């Protein structure tokens, strides 16, 4: 009897091992590529092959001249392998990409593509090299966030470049940290996650998705807040205040002093 049973067990064992191996490969692959963020994609059910194909077409038209036909990078543009859908969504939805004037830094500019097209390109890049996914709406919703922790994280990790109110600041060699006035919660999340240009990366294992949501809540609350003391003067601090003291205060009072001491012509 042992002779008949053994081949069946061996065959079953081989299939089992094969299935396990495939499953393990898939898991490892998912773990490595999904290391930057949660697995949920922006489009429910994930991108379809049609989306990826469409994204590839747009990419070939618009992006490949600098980033290479296979997104491997050229002298003009970096490799996009592993940057993820989040990076593509950030760069294209803020208008930074497609890049035009190649200066110290890509500025935010009017967006050239529709959201659907952006997601398609993002899906293609993600298909090519993996990387962090676009956050879902729930992940960036400020409601219910821990504002106190958000304030502390923002002030410690963001304010030194972007300024205490997100009004932006200077970096070296003509670069700058942009103001956060126009960034959507999704874009803020993606920027933290992917570290565009000079910005460092704040991965999900260091600043967790919940903490990112707290930071977003802090930013959106503060920037929407009215200025109870009058006009904000740019929320840049003492520099504009000093200007106003001289140009507003002293200059006006000089005019008043001239009026008070003016010689009046006798009628």
User: Contacts with other proteins in 92-151 (CB under 8 A)?
Assistant: 104, 146-149, 151
Distance of CA 216 to the CA centre of its chain: 11
- Are 55 and 124 within 8 A, CB to CB? yes
Q: How far apart are CA 191 and CA 195, in angstroms?
A: 5
Of 5 and 259, which CB lies nearer to other proteins in the complex structure?
A: 259
Indicate whether 153 belongs to the interface with other proteins (CB under 8 A). yes
Of 38 and 147, which CB lies nearer to other proteins in the complex structure?
A: 147
Tell me if residue 37 falls in helix, strand or coil. coil
Of 36 and 55, which CB lies nearer to other proteins in the complex structure?
A: 36
Indicate whether 61 belongs to the interface with other proteins (CB under 8 A). no
Element (H, E) at 24: helix 2-33
Question: If we measure between CA atoms, which residue out of 165, 170, 171 comes closest to residue 151?
Answer: 165
Indicate whether 205 belongs to the interface with other proteins (CB under 8 A). yes
Indicate whether 152 belongs to the interface with other proteins (CB under 8 A). yes
Q: How far apart are CA 153 and CA 202, in angstroms?
A: 11
- Are 190 and 90 within 8 A, CB to CB? yes
* Cβ 69 to other proteins shortest distance, Å: 24
Q: How far apart are CA 56 and CA 71, in angstroms?
A: 10
* Cβ 120 to other proteins shortest distance, Å: 25
Of 57 and 73, which CB lies nearer to other proteins in the complex structure?
A: 73
Compose the 30-49 pattern: x for residues touching other proteins by CB under 8 A, - for all others: -----xx-------------
Pick out residues in 159-188 that bind other proteins (CB under 8 A). Answer: 159-165, 167-177
């Amino acid at each position: 009897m042992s002779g008949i049973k053994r081949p069946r067990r061996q065959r079953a064992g081989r299939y089992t091992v094969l299935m396990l191996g495939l499953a393990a490969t898939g898991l490892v692959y998912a773990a490595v590529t999904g290391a930057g963020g949660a697995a949920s994609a922006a489009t429910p059910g994930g991108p379809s092959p049609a989306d990826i194909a469409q994204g590839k077409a747009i990419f070939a038209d618009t992006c490949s001249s600098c980033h290479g036909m296979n997104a491997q990078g050229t002298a003009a543009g970096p490799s996009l392998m592993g940057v993820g859908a989040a990076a593509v969504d950030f760069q294209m939805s803020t208008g930074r990409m497609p890049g035009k004037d190649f200066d110290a830094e890509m500025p935010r500019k009017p967006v050239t593509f529709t959201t659907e097209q952006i997601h398609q390109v993002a899906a293609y890049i993600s298909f090519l090299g993996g990387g962090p996914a676009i956050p879902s709406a729930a992940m960036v919703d400020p409601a219910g966030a821990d504002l106190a922790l958000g304030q502390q994280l923002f002030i410690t990790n963001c304010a030194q470049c972007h300024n205490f109110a997100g009004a932006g600041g200077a970096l070296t060699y003509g670069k700058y940290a942009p103001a956060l006035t126009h960034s959507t919660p999704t874009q803020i999340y993606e920027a933290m996650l992917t570290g565009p240009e000079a910005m460092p990366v704040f991965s999900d294992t260091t600043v967790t998705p919940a903490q990112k949501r707290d930071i977003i809540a802090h930013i959106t609350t503060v920037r929407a807040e009215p200025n109870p003391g009058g006009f904000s003067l740019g929320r840049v601090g003492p520099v504009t205040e000093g200007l106003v003291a001289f140009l507003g205060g002293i200059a006006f009072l000089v005019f008043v002093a001239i009026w008070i001491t003016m010689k009046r012509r006798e009628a």
